[in-house]
Amino acid sequence: MKKGRLSFSIMFLAPALFIYTLFMMIPVASSAYYSLTLWNGIFNPKFIGLDNYMEILHDSNYWLVAKNTLTLILFTLVFQVPPAIIIAYILFKVKVGFKFFRSVYFLPVVVAPIAIGIMFSLFYNGDFGPINKFFDLVGLSSWKHNWLSDIKVVLYSVMFPQVWQYIGLFIVIILAALMSIPEDLFESAKMDGATVVNTFFRIVVPLIWDVIQVCMILAVTGTLKSFDHTWAITQGGPGLSSAYLAVYIYQKFITSDFGYASAITITVLIYALAFTVILKRFFSKEAVQY
């Protein structure tokens, strides 16, 4: 009987394991191998050991785009997940038009990031963009910038569309968690005189903390793969002022430096694992039962 159950389980797991191995494990293993080689994508790879990783240590461009990526991660954790929690809680309390507002907040998520990037590149245009036009209109001309060519502001200009677009994703995830909380808890808190703020911090946040942690992990790992918005708006420029790690990897690939690009890819994987472990280690709490 047990052998039959095992065969039955293997039969259903095999397709998923095959697809995961084919499209995830094999590419990762290939990248790890090619990261130890000098390869232009045409001739046979030449094994060079850890030379690509040693080059990374001395590559100022790599550390610039790594800093840009880290900045985006911090902005995501501060300006994406917390606002999503607050907005989700407000929507949860709204009974009229709940489905409408939920759809409105989620709508940007389903739009192609390239389209969002192109739209914001028009907004940021220094000559006819509506942002500078608005500052002129309200008498704040000193606030005008060349949003996409000034290295002091271009990174933040590129970050904003991405942070804005995916807030809706976390709103929907957190809303689902809120809707799983029994209504009795809110009624009991109200009878005990708890304010909306107290209910939020003492009941809601502890009960959905595991979901919040998942949102933080998704935000960080998604940020490490960021490419579309900055490529559509500035292609990482001026220079590499608004480039992320994924953009730098792409630039190395199109110059046929496949070994070095693969080494950078492995570092991104290491960062993703490290951030996941850190978030799980320092933001884990004992599950709250209800």
pLDDT in tens, the chain (290 residues): 466 677 777 888 888 889 989 998 999 999 999 999 999 888 899 999 999 999 999 999 999 999 999 999 999 999 999 999 999 999 988 877 888 888 899 999 999 999 999 999 999 988 888 999 999 889 888 888 899 999 999 999 999 999 999 999 999 999 999 998 888 888 888 888 888 888 888 889 989 999 999 999 999 999 999 999 999 999 998 999 999 999 999 999 999 999 999 999 999 999 999 999 998 888 776 656 65
Residues 6+ apart with CB under 8 A from 103: none
For each of the domains in the chain, give its residue range(s) and CATH number, in order of start. 60-282 (1.10.3720.10)
Identity of residue 124? Y
Report the candidate in 186, 184, 180 with the shortest Cα–Cα distance to residue 200: 186
- Determine the Cα angle at 115 with ends 23 and 166, to 5°: 70
Q: Output the six-digit token pair for 169.
A: 């994703």
Q: Output the six-digit token pair for 281.
A: 């280690």
Residues 6+ apart with CB under 8 A from 199: 186, 189, 190
Q: CA 139 to CA 143: how far, in whole Å?
A: 9
Report the candidate in 152, 153, 158, 150 with the shortest Cα–Cα distance to residue 121: 158
**Cis peptide bond upstream of 206, omega within 30:** no
Residue 279: enclosing H or E segment and its boundaries? helix 258-282
pTM (2 d.p.): 0.90
